[in-house]
Amino acid sequence: MKFAVPLILFAVLVGFLGVGLWRDPHLVPSPLMDRQAPEFHLVRLDEPNLSFSPREMLGKVWLFNTWASWCVSCREEHPLLEALSKADVVPIYGLNYKDKRDDALNWLNKMGNPYVLNVQDTNGRVGIDYGVYGVPETYLIDKAGVIRYKQIGPLTLKALEETILPMVRKLNIGLQP
Amino acid sequence: MNALLLLAMLFQPARAPDLDQRVMTLSEQFRCLVCQNETIADSHADLADDLRQQIREQMIAGRSDAQISTFLTDRYGDFVLYRPRVTPKTYALWFGPFLLLGGGLYWLYLFTKHSPSSSKLRTLSAEEHRRAAELLRIVADPNVAVYRDQFAELESDFRAGLVVRAQYDRDRDELERRLIEDCRE
């Protein structure tokens, strides 16, 4: 009884540390959530004399996936992107982040190309505007051009099935997810 | 014209180290998101290089430290700030340790106030002295035999001059109190 107070304090401390142990410190919530996707004009990877801007996507729900040929986890998520692209549920646009054009094109030739198109962010400036701190990162952007979800790290089947695809469905028929 | 160019060249190198210094000083206030325990100034991550470059360019463009800080928090959140802002969300972080310290000190105060050690210096009453002497004399318990030895030892130390009077009184009182306490159970 005499030690009830220290014991309770100890239990609380253990509780806090225990919760902390299971959290991923690399998942930093993005302040861009529910905000307008930053505007840019970047050169297209496939057609370097054409450019692309997210403004062109107004009225559509789309995925914006940052990737690079040097990025190992991008290989991990690539089969999922391919499957998603074949299923034709949501268009995938790519931000080729701090990559060399030839390397990126080779990668797409070898691995398959799930993207409607890619833009080249050679110096990583647009990546910074989007708060990218580790590729791959994927943004779900709604018809009004607002970022509705951000996947940090490779896409997973769980994230797709439980979060992203239900959101896409709702956003497409004009419901708030 | 030539003189002007020369002047410009003279002053140019002098300005660059200043800017470097400013970039480094400000970069030290931001956390690198790749190596999260390093500042943007210290980190060798690619992203930290890029962000230092951003900071430099924005400084050249004449933006203030506060504006650059906003630029970074707009993109990466308050997490980039090595020194968290004081907002209701971070009150626990800023003031929690002081609350805990205060609570701990208060608890310590209550604990020592109510603990028996504070009554230790109370001298024993005549009745208690008598009771202790009686217990020593009549109880055959081995525990009391230990007390008997301790009393004898204290007595001989005192006789031999190894213990001064005040110490002897205090130790004897303490032994008697413990003896009475033990025999009560």
Count of structural domains within chain A: 1
Q: What is the CATH number of the domain that holds A85?
A: 3.40.30.10
Mean pLDDT computed over B100-117: 83
3-class DSSP state for residue A140?
A: strand
Domain boundary among B88, B114, B138: B88
Distance, in Å, from the CA atom of B154 to the CA atom of B158, rounded to the nearest integer, reads 6
Shortest distance, CA A156 to any CA of chain B (angstroms) = 21
Name the average pLDDT for chain A. Answer: 94
pLDDT at B135: 85
Mean pLDDT computed over B113-137: 74
pLDDT at B180: 86
Among A20-24, A65-69, A131-135, B81-85, which range has the highest average pLDDT? A65-69
Residue A144 lies in a domain: yes
| A32 touches B at CB < 8 Å | yes
Task: Provide the Cα torsion A101, A104, A109, A111; round to 10°.
Answer: 180
Question: Minimal CA–CA distance to A126: which of A69, A64, A78?
Answer: A64
Residue B37 lies in a domain: yes
B37 half-sphere exposure, CB direction, 13 A CA radius: 0
Is the confidence at residue A17, as pLDDT, over 60? yes
Residue A64 lies in a domain: yes
What type of residue is A171? L
Neighbours of B154 (CB within 10 A): 18
Mean pLDDT computed over B59-74: 95
Confidence of residue B185 (pLDDT cuts 50, 70, 90): low
Test the B interface: residue of A32, A122, A128, A147 with most B CBs within 10 Å: A128
Please name the residue ranges forming H helices in chain B.
2-27, 46-60, 65-76, 91-114, 126-138, 142-159, 165-184
Which of A94-103, A158-167, B72-81, B130-139 shows the lowest mean pLDDT across its residues? B130-139
Confidence of residue B120 (pLDDT cuts 50, 70, 90): low
Count of structural domains within chain B: 2
| A16 touches B at CB < 8 Å | no
Instruction: Judge: B54–A128 Cβ closer than 8 Å, yes or no.
Output: yes
Confidence of residue B11 (pLDDT cuts 50, 70, 90): low
Residue B6 lies in a domain: no
Q: Which residues of B touch A (CB under 8 A)?
A: 33-34, 36, 46-47, 50-51, 54, 73-79, 107
Shortest distance, CA A86 to any CA of chain B (angstroms) = 32
Domain that holds residue A60: 34-173
Residues in B touching A30 (Cβ below 8 Å): 76-77
- The interface pTM score, or ipTM, of the predicted complex is 0.85
| Backbone φ, ψ for residue A117 (5° rounding) | -160, 165
**Using N-to-C axis directions, what is the helix angle for B65-76 and B2-27, rounded to 10°?**
50
Residue B120 lies in a domain: no
pLDDT at B113: 79
The minimal CB distance from A28 to the residues B54, B77, B107 is found for: B77
Residues in B touching A129 (Cβ below 8 Å): 75
